Structure formats: C-alpha cells, structure tokens
C-alpha cells in the first residue's frame, strides 16, 4: 500500500498547492531539490510523490530533512498490467486527496499515467517535462513504440505546457503529433547548480596517471559496454591509466549490466566501481576525464556536473549528449556504439595530458553560459505562476 506523511492544517492551507510527481525519491533529491525549495520560497505548499521505499528510502529521509512532504507511490520499471493499474490508482488517490492547483510530472510513467488522470480531473493545471525517451524509444519493438506514442498523445492532451530538454525530442513529439508547438518549451536539461558543482583542487597523482570516470546508471543504453571495451584495450597498452565507474545497477531495467560482467571488469581488468554515492563531487574531482557514450539522453546531468567542475568530457554524437560538447573545445564526441573512435578519443588525453586543464576550463565556461540551473528554475516557476 502506498503511504503518505501527513501534515497539520495551518497557514499552509491558504497556500497554492504544487504536486510534483517523479519516478522516485532519488530523482526528486538529485534533480528537483532546488526547484522544490524555490517553489516553497515563493509561497507554494509543495507535495512530492514517487517511490520512497527500498533503496530510495535514504533519499526520502534527506528530502524530509528539508521539510518536504512526501507520498510514496509503487513505481517500478515493470511492464505488468496489474502493477501499472495499481500505480494508476495510487496516482489518482494522491491527486484526488491533495487537489493541487498545479501538478508537474517528470519521468515516463508519471507523465503518462498522471497525464491520463489529469485529462479527467481538469481543475489542475498540469505541467510536463520530458526528461528523456528511455529504453522504450531506443531499443523496444516497433509495436511497443507505437503503443507508447499513443499513450503519450492521450496523456498530453490537457497539459498546459510541455518542456523538453533538447530540440530533437521536441521535434520528434511535434512530428508525431503528440503535442502542439504552442504548448512546447525548451529548457537546457535540468541545469546545474554552479555554486555546488565547481572546480576543486586535488593532490597530484603518482606516475602522471590519467583517470577516466564513467558516471551513470549501469545499463547498456548508457554505452557502458562500449566504454569498457575501449578501456580494456587502453589498459592493455599503457600503464598510466585508471578506469572508474560511478553509478548504481538499475536491476529493474532489462538492459542492466550483469553482476558477473561487473565482477570480471573489476577482478580481471582492475576497473574500480564505487556504486552509487549521494555526493559525486569528490569522485569527479579525482578524475581527469568524464565519459558517457550514451545512446540517447534528454540532457545528461552527469556531464553537466563534470563540466561545471572543469573536467573535459567524452560523449557520443547522440541526441542530448552532443549538446554538452562545445565544438571539441571541452572534449570529444564520438559516433554512437563506435568503440574504436571512443578508444582514440581516450588515447588523445593519454598522449597529450596538457589539454586536460585547457579543455576543463572551457567546460566550466560553457556550462556557465548555457546550463545555469537558475535559468531552468526560472522557466518552471514562471509556468507555475501563470
């Protein structure tokens, strides 16, 4: 059963109510915390909903420490009809009970199921953010993609504003008649907090060792297997290289990295895996280059955070990813799934370590100009206030 943490009716009962629904407490804490805090500062009573159980419980507690009201929803990546009906009912209960003035939906299932309910409960102003198209749009069958597009079309019928994190996703939705141009907006990803993510000085490493860091969920679509193949080739050729992974195994995702593969990477090749951490900054600070050869993204937050900390990046020439590369000045982009080109990009940093500092400075300058989180928050808050 889904649960809610209740609050007493005091002066908050006179405030406009904002309901934010996302996949889990982890996404709410990592990507939406500053938005929630800003909305509260502007006088909204904010309720957040998403999965708060299991591995997400610690992030729910962190959100509660900020005085944020949370409702647990039974969200997972299961395609089972019964589980999705259960989630649909849970979202319905939350909306009916809270009766928000504004509802903001993030991530795939909340967008689709929450949007369908919003078509019936028309008193709520619904805002949607398409954070990425996920496994279904990348690797699913044509029939599945067709059904998902129908679901999106229905769910977005009464959305007042639909935000996209890159122009390609917006163009795809427009071409498929899933949303109108009039209701569509572009924001530069989730933005990045430039005060929180900033360059840090680190102790020089022995033997001039170059550290390559992969940051992301350990699933195939993030390009993790291509990264490992390129890294193993590099490790077999040079000694002054370290390869590290930072991210969780998303066990509910059908393309998750197997535990046996992860064991081989660590035991046979000496690749280090830190798992998931609440604060990524110390790990990014100790890296020289951050790599994410993903197949498709909204706008990858991990690369924005790395760039904000003045790290050069290597990523794929894919939707969302290419937006974080500034014409080769702050890193390199390589064709999707091209292990050889990825390996060659890594070799450039090994052979020319002096470019790391220069490209890192360009990374910081680039995100300051284009990806300041304050601009994204301003667009969202403006949409709430209308």
Question: For 284-326, how does the pLDDT look when each residue is reduced to its tens digit (9 = 90+)?
Answer: 999 999 999 999 898 899 999 999 999 999 999 999 899 999 8
Domain count within the chain? 2
CATH code of the domain in which 43 resides: 3.40.50.2000
For 359-373, what is each residue's pLDDT tens digit?
A: 999 999 999 999 999
Are 157 and 234 found together in one domain? no
Q: Specify if 186 maps to a domain.
A: yes
User: Domain limits at 299?
Assistant: 206-370
How high is the pLDDT of residue 206?
61
Evaluate whether residue 199 is within a structural domain: no
Does the residue 197 lie in any domain?
no
Same domain, 297 and 379: no
At 265 the pLDDT is 97
- Is 348 domain-assigned? yes
Together in a domain, 224 and 348: yes
Pair (352, 376) in one structural domain: no
Per the domain annotation, does 303 fall within a domain? yes
What percent of the residues of the chain are helix, what percent strand, and what percent coil, each to the nearest 5? 45, 20, 35
User: In this predicted structure, which of 131-145, 149-163, 245-259, 372-386 has the lowest mean pLDDT?
Assistant: 131-145
Separation of alpha carbons 76 and 85, rounded Å: 12
- Tell me the average pLDDT across 170-199: 93
Angle between helical axes of 108-120 and 142-155 (0-180°, round to 10): 40
Residue 9 above 50 pLDDT?
no
pLDDT digits (tens, 9 = 90+) for 331-340: 999 999 999 9
- Tens of pLDDT, residue by residue over 115-144, are 999 998 877 899 999 987 766 666 667 777
Has residue 5 got a pLDDT over 50?
no
Residues 17 and 82 in one domain: yes
Q: For residues 363 and 94, what is the distance between their CA atoms, to the nearest angstrom?
A: 42
Tell me: do 265 and 365 sit in the same domain.
Answer: yes
Measured on CA atoms in the order 200, 203, 209, 212, is the torsion positive or negative?
negative
């Amino acid at each position: 059963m889904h649960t809610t943490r209740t609050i007493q009716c005091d002066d908050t009962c006179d405030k406009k109510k904002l309901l934010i629904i996302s996949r889990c407490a982890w996404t709410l804490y990592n990507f939406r915390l500053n938005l929630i805090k800003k909305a509260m500062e502007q006088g909204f009573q904010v309720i957040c909903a998403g999965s708060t159980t299991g591995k997400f419980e610690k992030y729910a507690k962190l959100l509660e420490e900020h005085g944020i009201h949370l409702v647990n929803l039974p969200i997972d990546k299961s395609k089972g009809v019964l589980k999705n009906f259960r989630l649909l009912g849970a979202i319905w209960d939350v909306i009916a009970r809270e009766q928000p003035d504004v509802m903001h939906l993030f991530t795939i299932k909340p967008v689709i199921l929450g949007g369908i309910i919003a078509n019936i409960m028309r008193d709520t102003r619904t805002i949607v953010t398409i954070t990425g198209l996920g496994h279904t749009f990348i690797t699913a069958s044509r029939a599945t993609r067709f059904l998902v597009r129908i679901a999106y079309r229905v769910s977005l019928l009464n959305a007042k504003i639909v935000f996209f994190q890159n122009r390609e996703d917006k163009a795809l939705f427009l071409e498929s008649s899933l949303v109108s141009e009039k209701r569509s907006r572009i924001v530069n990803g989730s933005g990045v907090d430039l005060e929180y993510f900033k360059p840090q000085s680190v102790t020089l490493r022995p033997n001039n060792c170059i550290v390559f860091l992969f940051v992301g969920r350990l699933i195939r679509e993030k390009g993790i297997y291509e990264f490992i193949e390129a890294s193993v080739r590099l490790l077999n050729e040079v000694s002054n290289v370290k390869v590290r992974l930072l991210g969780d195994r998303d066990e509910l995702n059908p393309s998750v990295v197997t535990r046996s593969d992860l064991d081989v990477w660590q035991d046979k090749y000496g690749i280090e895996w830190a798992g998931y951490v609440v604060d990524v900054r110390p790990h990014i600070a100790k890296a020289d280059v951050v790599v994410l050869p993903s197949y498709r993204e909204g706008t990858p937050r991990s690369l924005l955070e790395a760039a904000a900390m003045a790290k050069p990046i290597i990523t794929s020439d894919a939707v969302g990813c290419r937006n974080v590369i500034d014409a080769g000045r702050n890193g390199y982009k390589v064709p999707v799934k091209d292990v050889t080109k990825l390996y060659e990009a890594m070799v450039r940093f090994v052979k020319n370590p002096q470019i790391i500092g220069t490209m890192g400075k360009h990374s910081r300058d680039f995100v300051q100009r284009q990806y300041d989180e304050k601009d994204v928050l301003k667009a969202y808050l403006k949409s709430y206030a209308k």
